[in-house]
Amino acid sequence: MNSKYNEALKELLYKIADDQLIIGHRNSEWTGLGPIIEEDIAFSSIAQDKIGQSRHFYELLHKLGEKNPDIIAFTRSEKDFRCCHLVEYPIGEYDFSLMRNFLFNNSEHIRFQMLCGSSCKELSGLAKKYTGEIKYHIMHADTWVNQLGNADVEANSRMQSALNECWNLALGIFEEGPYLEILREEKIFSGEEELKNSWLEVIIPKLEKASLKIPDTNTWEPSLGGRYGYHTEYLKPLLDEMCEVFRLDPEAEW
């Protein structure tokens, strides 16, 4: 395959895997802190899924000539990460983390459904596998958003504030990368705009059912830059913590 094809594919894989690794790490921060034990386990399990899924993307990147998965995950600097801003934010209160999962997981599910038809067979194989797993992540977030949105005034207003807070960050998921044309031409992925439109079609009815409203379109300002290595102030401290042990001795045998 030609080098432009490879570059486009790698850029896509990095973006997807970095989102998963970072939101996985954030979800793992709920371990021991969940408001009830079932939520503690849910966030921890989802974290394990996401980080495990990211690993197989890093393996695929390794096959395409990148370094090995641990090196990719734990030694890159902030500017080499391609994750969106939504996943970088600290866990905040439970309402924020839950709403973030709702918005992110629904987009991820649609992304992988789109990738099931990708011309890159290894990517479509992973996508088919992951859509089945992510169904459980959606089930979790959808159920709680619906229950809390329709509970008492406090619960509803907290979920609405969390939605408002997450919204522009979530729109940043769909920042188009530099290789859109090649990805389309080669039928690897049909692009972020299409993904965003499908996502809106899916989440708006779910939010309405949960008595929640998306912000007015004239206030939409996607939080951009993540896909090009420009991150929020929260990514670097996260990387410092996540990578601390590995960086002490990258050659260590476990």
Partner 1 sequence: MVNEMFDKSDILKALQDVKDPEIPTISIVDLGIVTDVTINNGSVSVKLTPTFAGCPALKVMESMVEERIKNMGIENVEVITDFSVQWTTDMITENGLRALKAHGLAPPPRLGNKPVQIELLDKVICPLCGSSDTELKTPFGPTLCRSIHYCKNCLNAFEQFKPVG
Mark the segment that binds partner 1 (CB under 8 A) among 39-47, 200-208, 211-219, 231-239.
39-47
Using rule CB under 8 A, residue 48 touches partner 1: yes
Cα 214 from Cα 216, distance rounded (Å): 7
Using rule CB under 8 A, residue 19 touches partner 1: no
Half-sphere exposure of 181 (CA within 13 A, CB side): 1
Using rule CB under 8 A, residue 45 touches partner 1: yes
Mark the segment that binds partner 1 (CB under 8 A) among 50-58, 93-101, 183-191, 229-237.
50-58
Cα 86 from Cα 172, distance rounded (Å): 7
Distance (Å) of CA 228 to CA 158, 164, 225: 32, 25, 5
Nearest C-alpha neighbor of 84 from the set 6, 5, 17: 17
Q: Residue 10 CB, nearest distance to partner 1 (Å)?
A: 18
Among 132, 152, 218, 233, binds partner 1 (CB under 8 A): 132
Q: Residue 52 CB, nearest distance to partner 1 (Å)?
A: 2
Using rule CB under 8 A, residue 145 touches partner 1: no
What torsion do the CA atoms of 124, 103, 40, 161 make, to the nearest 10 degrees?
170
68/219 with CB nearer partner 1? 68
Using rule CB under 8 A, residue 38 touches partner 1: yes
Using rule CB under 8 A, residue 53 touches partner 1: yes
Cα 212 from Cα 109, distance rounded (Å): 21
Cα 84 from Cα 23, distance rounded (Å): 10
Among 8, 9, 13, 42, binds partner 1 (CB under 8 A): 42
68/157 with CB nearer partner 1? 68
Distance (Å) of CA 133 to CA 82, 158, 173, 191: 23, 28, 20, 23
Using rule CB under 8 A, residue 34 touches partner 1: no
Using rule CB under 8 A, residue 35 touches partner 1: no
Using rule CB under 8 A, residue 52 touches partner 1: yes
Q: Residue 211 CB, nearest distance to partner 1 (Å)?
A: 20
What torsion do the CA atoms of 134, 139, 145, 148 make, to the nearest 10 degrees?
-140
Cα 131 from Cα 75, distance rounded (Å): 29
24/172 with CB nearer partner 1? 24
Cα 106 from Cα 166, distance rounded (Å): 14
Among 33, 139, 204, 245, binds partner 1 (CB under 8 A): 139
Residues near partner 1 (CB under 8 A)? 38, 41-42, 44-46, 48-53, 55-56, 121-122, 125-126, 128-130, 132-133, 135-136, 139-140, 143
